Amino acid sequence: MNSIDLSIVVASYNTKDLLSKCLLSIYDNTREINYEVIVVDDCSKDDSPQMVRECFPKAKLICNDVNLRYAKTNNIGLKAAAGRYGLLLNSDVEVQPSAFDNLVKFMDAHPDAAAAGPKLINPDGSIQHCIRSFPGLIPMIFQSLNLHLFWPNNPITNKYYNTDFDYSKAQVVDSIGTTSFIIRRSTWENYGMLDERFSLAFVDLAYCYMLKKQNQKIYYVPDAVVLHYGSQSINQSGIKEISLLHEALRRFYDLYYAPEDNILKRSLIRLGIKLREIINLMEYRISSNKRVWRSPNVSSASKRPIKPS
């Protein structure tokens, strides 16, 4: 019988101070389950590994020789996991009391759950919207053009962002971000780990989309709460990450939607993605908000990029 309930995989890249707070919050607020912490450092230059060795000797530390980015780094952690469940956790979070205890309890009580995610909150305590649907590429293109910022609650991007979602109720969802994401061992053993054709952007959507196609259920769990600062690693290289984001969007479209579209529609959508990239790059250069991803209900405290230590 497996004595470890949960393997917590923390992917880290140049966020030493945030990582320290993240690990401290895990150890301070997880008391009712048996767990292990696996930190996978993605070739950081800020002495993150040394900090983990000195301050958190209980954590298992894996250091990548080269920068492999999000999907591969998390998969390395899952491969090293010994728990009944694996939990992918960004380094820019602070775990709230009993969050992971409650996630494990929920998964134990819901054997139909392939994976689940907690409630995410901003530093000011407001809800951070983390539920997504698969409405097709048109709403996603308008989302990436930030229509939701200029026209809040519009019917186009609402299909993607689910801005009317009831965050007080546990329920099955199409997709939830992998900021804090618990996966049943049988899920990744039977259906696979994160899709390494995506390096960072759209990794969560691609994985949830794959599970949905396999008729597997993903749940949102409000009794588990995690504070999320948001995108602190990618905000360090904004221009590069915007280009990589659009490359991932093109790949997501080509893999999951394009085969069902005619030549004209494929051409128009790919043109739309390219125009979106040009607009986002221009906006980034002239805007004071240097945040790569902009979603509804992200507090101002989360919008400020944190410089690497």
How far apart CA 13 and CA 2 sit, in angstroms, is 30
Answer for the pair 278, 158: CB distance below 8 angstroms, yes or no.
no
For 272-303, the three-class secondary structure string (H helix, E strand, C coil) is: HHHHHHHHHHHHHHHCCCCCCCCCCCCCHHHH
CATH code of the domain made up of 6-129+165-232 = 3.90.550.10
The 8-class DSSP code of residue 201 comes to T
Instruction: List, in sequence order, the alpha helices (H) in the chain.
Output: 16-29, 48-55, 70-80, 99-109, 137-144, 147-150, 158-161, 185-191, 203-213, 238-256, 263-286, 300-303
Answer for the pair 221, 117: CB distance below 8 angstroms, yes or no.
yes
Answer for the pair 81, 183: CB distance below 8 angstroms, yes or no.
no
Answer for the pair 28, 56: CB distance below 8 angstroms, yes or no.
no
CA dist 308 → 66, 268, 305 (Å): 18, 39, 9
Domain residue spans of the chain = 6-129+165-232, 235-298
Answer for the pair 214, 291: CB distance below 8 angstroms, yes or no.
no
Tell me the two tokens of residue 246: 């659009």
Chain mean position to CA 119:
13
* Tens-level pLDDT at each residue, the chain (309 residues): 469 999 999 999 999 999 999 999 999 999 999 999 999 999 999 999 999 999 999 999 999 999 999 999 999 999 999 999 999 999 999 999 999 999 999 999 999 999 999 999 999 999 998 898 886 667 766 766 666 677 777 777 777 778 789 999 999 999 999 999 999 999 999 999 999 999 888 899 999 999 999 999 999 999 999 999 975 555 456 678 888 888 888 888 888 888 888 899 888 888 888 888 888 788 878 866 555 545 555 444 444 333 332
Answer for the pair 98, 225: CB distance below 8 angstroms, yes or no.
no
Residue that has been written with the tokens 């809040």 in this structure: 152
